[in-house]
Amino acid sequence: MTRLSVNLNKIALLRNSRGSNYPDLIQVAKDCERFGAQGITVHPRQDERHCKFADLPLLKEACTTEFNIEGFPDRHFLDAVIKVKPHQCTLVPDDPNQLTSDHGWDTIAKKEFLTEIISELKKNGIRVSLFIDADTKLIEGAAKVGADRIEYYTGPYAKNFPANPEAAVKEIKESCAVAVQAGLGINAGHDLNLENLKYLKDNLAQLDEVSIGHALICDAVYLGLENTIRLYLNKLV
């Protein structure tokens, strides 16, 4: 089964734009789960432009499925994650000023850095996933530094999908076999939507979880949140 984790950063961004608690991020998380989502994801950045670090313990308390926190592992982020103890922490190599995540880890160049951080998180009972590109050497590196899972950066797949779905999925499909053989769980996220999600799911030997936020929330503006979540879940059957 592939789990759908709804990324709520866009809801938090909307809330923050008016300096109030509307929409209520915690209530939206509860509603997403009530509508069928099997996980909640947030990505608190250093500038707190969407999810705030103060949201994390409230979300952990509210979530009845799986709670996933994404982010760059500076000391402030790690301390917050260890205090909250989500089910999963997805490490991303973002620069503090980046608009959005647009590349995965170099698990070879950052081997010592990642090994130390992953060990600390796992000692605290937190499953660790690494945001990564579809490169077999980097995926093998993810296993060597102790990651439990990888999360494919699917931006290139989504960009190339309209013109040639088969070519778009080729690198992910081939490297996925390497990841499975290495004992890694498989997650995916970034620019996945109702048009390209099912094809990705059908072409991978294993897909444990997808984390989707931007497209899902955009679709919900027109289709409603409950209906949208059900449509995404149907693509993962």
pLDDT of residue 94: 82
pLDDT of residue 101: 61
What are the tens digits of pLDDT across the range 196-231? Answer: 999 999 999 999 999 999 999 999 999 999 999 999
All structural domains of the chain: 3-235 (3.20.20.70)
Catalytic residue among 43, 50, 66, 151: 43
Q: Nearest Cα to 8, choosing from 211, 224, 236?
A: 211
pLDDT of residue 96: 64
Catalytic residue among 33, 50, 190, 209: 190
Known catalytic membership, residue 43: yes
The rounded average pLDDT for each run of 10 residues, N- to C-terminus, in the chain (237 residues) is 97 96 98 98 95 98 98 97 98 75 88 98 98 98 98 98 98 97 98 98 97 98 98 98
Using only C-alpha atoms, the chain has a radius of gyration, in whole angstroms, of 17
Catalytic residue among 33, 66, 70, 209: 70
Token pair, residue 146, equals 């102790």
pLDDT of residue 103: 80
Q: For the chain, what is the total number of helices (H) and then of strands (E)?
A: 11, 8
Give dist(CA 237, CA 72) in Å, integer.
32
pTM as predicted: 0.96
Q: Report in angstroms the alpha-carbon separations of 178 from 2, 81, 117, 134, 231.
A: 19, 29, 23, 10, 30
The values of phi and psi at residue 99, to 5°, are -70, -45
pLDDT of residue 100: 65
Is the N-terminal amide bond of 23 cis, ω within 30° of 0?
yes
What are the tens digits of pLDDT across the range 72-104? Answer: 999 999 999 999 999 999 999 987 666 566 689
> How would DSSP label each residue in 138-200?
HHHHHHHTT-SEEEEE-HHHHHHTTT-HHHHHHHHHHHHHHHHHTT-EEEEESS--TTTHHHH
